[in-house]
Amino acid sequence: MLHLHNGYSTPVVRCDLKPINVLLDQEMVGHVSDFGIAKLLEYGQDGIVSTSFHVYSFGILMMESFTRRRPSDEIFTGDLTIRCWVSDSFPSGIHKLVDANLLLLER
């Protein structure tokens, strides 16, 4: 994302950042892919699109990766969102949310 924000004369905002759009290379370095709805920041000067959108999207992406849940998962109904679910469990209950497969990798 740093390259998208600073690597071009006009920042690029990736509007649909999600785990399926991040590819890992042999060194496990993430690369953002599928720029179908990416926008140049100049189109969003009215406040519709900004680079701060990436901060929020990256946070959601990390929650999806660590919990193995999508924001559209069936458990998220009404006011319960993935963000609220993780936030309400942090820090004391976070171990209950983390994907068990990740805990196996620790050993």
Active-site annotation holder among 16, 25, 34, 99: 16
d(CA 71, CA 8): 31
Q: At what angle do helices 52-67 and 82-89 cross, to 10 degrees?
A: 70
Annotation marks residue 16 as catalytic: yes
**C-alpha span between 62 and 97 (Å, rounded):** 12
Catalytic sites, residue numbers: 16
